[in-house]
Structure 1
C-alpha cells in the first residue's frame, strides 16, 4: 500500500493504542466514466475518502461488526454481546448492533473507507452521551450501553428518542460525525448555565449535562407564535458539542434529490 497517498487529519491515543483519521489526498479515478465524473467533482469540492487507522501494541479495541476492512500484525478477533441483556437493550433502544467485535494484539488495523466524517474523543473517567448510531469503535476500558433520557420532556419532545448511546470509562472513542470535526462547536457550560438549540443538531454531551425540551416562550402560545416551538436545552456543568451545519447539509441534500 502506497502510504504517500494518505494523510493524517486527526489523532488521539492512549497507552497501547493510537487512533488516526486518515484520508486519501486524491483518488486516481476509474475506467467507468460515470464514476470518474463523480471522483472529479469530489476532488473539486475537496471531498476526501477517509479511513480509521488504529495502531495497537499488545492492546485491544472494540468495533462495530462489519467495520473491519483489513489488518496486518498479530491479532485475535472475537465477537461478544457484552452480556446478552445489555446487548439486547442497545440493539432495540439505540440502533447499535447487538454483537460487537473485539480485536486484541499488535499491529495496524484499518476500518472501512467512507466519504463521511469521524470525530475522536479522549474520555478520562467520564461518560459521553451521543447520537444513536454514532458509535464506531473504542479502545479498551470503555463501555458502550443505552442511556435513558432523564425526563419525560426530553424523551417525548427532544427529538432524540427515549434512549441514546452512552460511552463510559477512560479511553478513545471514534464516532461517525454528521459534519467535519472542525465544523463541530464545543461549548463548556458552567453549573446552571444553559445552551438552547432550535433543532436536532446537538451531537454529544458529557454526562453531567442535563438535557430537556423547553418552550421557547413563557407559554405554549408564545412558543407557537415565535416560530421557534420547543428548544433542546442543555444545562451545565459539562461540555456540549453541536453541529450547526448539519441542518444546512440536510436541506441541500433534499433539494438535490428533488432535482434528480
Structure 2
C-alpha cells in the first residue's frame, strides 16, 4: 500500500484532462527557479508556458509508453518490453525503423502509479473510438497509449510521398479501442478538426497531427499541372482523401528551445 502526498493534492498542480488510465497534469507555477533561469521562468509564466506531466493509473489499464519517458513509479508496477517472441521483436524493429519511432516501447503492468517525464509540450488525450478505432499519428508525436491498442506501420499511398514530400514513407497507426496520449506543439484549443465525407483536404506542410486510417494519404502537386503548381507558389502538398477526420495545427511544428524539462 502506498500514499502519494503533495502531488495530486498540490494547489500548484492542475488536472487538465483525464481519460482511461491517463491524467494530464499542469504546473500552474514553476517554483524550481534559480537565479540563472529566473528571467526565462518569469517570461514563460507570462506566456502561459508551463510544465506538464502524464500520470498513468495502472489499476485501470496496462499502458505502453515511448522509450525513456518514465520518470518515477510506485506500488505494484512491472516493466516489460511487450515483446511476444522473436517474430514480434523483428516486426517491431522493422516498424520502428520505418516509422521513426522507438523500436521497443516498454509496457507497464500492475496496479500502481506511473509518472512520465515533465515536458513543456502540450499533452493531448485522444480516444480511438472517435477515429473509427484506427488512428494514424505524425512522426514523433506518440507518448503513451492503452496497451490493448495494436501498433502498425502504415505506408503512404504512393512512393513520391517519401521522396518529394520531405517526410518518411511510413507512419505509426494505433488500432483498437483505447486512449492515446500525444505530445503536441499546439494546445488542444488551437487544433483544427476537419471531418471529410468522401472529400479531400490538401495541406501545404506537415501541419497534420493525426488522421483516420481510412483516409488515403498521398503527396501531390497543388495544381493539376506543373505550370499550375508553379503559378500557385505552393508546389507539393499533403493530400488526405476519403471519409474520416484530420487533426491539424495552425502553425508549423518547429520545436521551441528547451522543450524537455529536467527536475
1:162 matched to 2:169: yes
Q: Deviations over 1:221-247 (max 9, x none)?
A: 111122111121111200101112226
**Paired residues, what number?**
245
Give, in whole Å, the separation in 2 of the partners of 1:5 and 1:84: 42
Contact 1:77 1:104 survives alignment (8 Å): yes
CA distance in 1, matches of 2:27, 2:72: 16
1:33 and 1:242 map into 2 onto residues whose CA distance is 38
Note the alpha carbon deviations across 1:87-133, whole angstroms, 9 max, x for none. Answer: 21122112211222111111322100011122211113621111122
Alpha-carbon distance in 1 for matches of 2:138, 2:157: 15
Using the TM superposition, name which of 148-157 and 208-217 deviates more.
148-157
Partners of 2:206 and 2:252 within 8 A in 1:
no
Structure 1, residues 26-48: CA drift from partner, whole Å, max 9, x if none?
A: 11142x31212211111111101
Which residue in the other structure is 2:53 paired with? Answer: 51
- Mapped to 2, the partners of 1:64 and 1:253 lie a distance apart of 20
Is 1:100 the equivalent of 2:102?
A: no
Root mean square deviation, CA, Å: 1.9
SS in 2 for 1:57: coil
Aligned to 2:44: 42
Structure 1 SS opposite 2:59:
strand
TM-score calculated relative to the size of structure 2: 0.86
Q: What residue in structure 2 maps to residue 66 of structure 1?
A: 68
Q: Which residue of 2 aligns with 1:144?
A: 151
Q: Secondary structure at the match of 1:120?
A: strand
Alignment check: 8 A CA contact 1:86 1:145 kept: no
Q: Secondary structure of 1:34's match? A: helix
Contact 1:179 1:246 in 2 (8 A): no
Distance 1:232 1:147 in 2: 16
Shift of 1:157: 2.5
| 8 Å Cα contact 2:107-2:147 kept in structure 1 | no
Residues 253 and 140 (structure 1), Cα distance of their counterparts in 2 relative to 1, 3 Å cut: closer
Kept in 2, the 8 Å contact 1:201–1:243? The answer is yes
**Once superposed, which parts of structure 1, at least 4 consecutive aligned residues long, lie more than 6 Å away?**
none
- Report the Cα offset of residue 185 of structure 1: 0.7
Closer, same or farther: CA 80–57 of 1 in aligned 2, 3 Å: closer
Using the alignment, how far apart are the partners of 1:85 and 1:127 within structure 2? 23
From the superposition, tell whether residues 161 and 194 of structure 1 become closer, same or farther in structure 2 (CA, over 3 Å).
same
Counting only pairs closer than 5 Å after superposition, residues 110-129 of structure 1 correspond to structure 2 as 110-124=115-129, 126-129=133-136
Q: Secondary structure at the match of 2:252?
A: helix
Alignment partner, residue 200 of structure 2: 194
Unaligned runs of 5+ in 1: 255-260
Contact 1:78 1:103 in 2 (8 A): yes
Residues 51-107 of structure 1 show CA distances to partners (whole Å, capped at 9, x for unaligned) of 001122263111122111112222222224461121211221122112221111113
Equivalent in 219, 234, 245 of residue 213 of structure 1? 219
Question: What is the aligned partner in structure 1 of residue 182 from structure 2?
Answer: 175
CA distance in structure 2 between the partners assigned to 1:93 and 1:181 by the alignment: 28
Cα distance, 1:253 vs structure 2: 5.8
Structure 2: unaligned runs, 5 residues or longer: 258-263
CA contact (8 A) 2:158 2:219 kept: no
Q: TM-score, normalised by structure 1?
A: 0.87
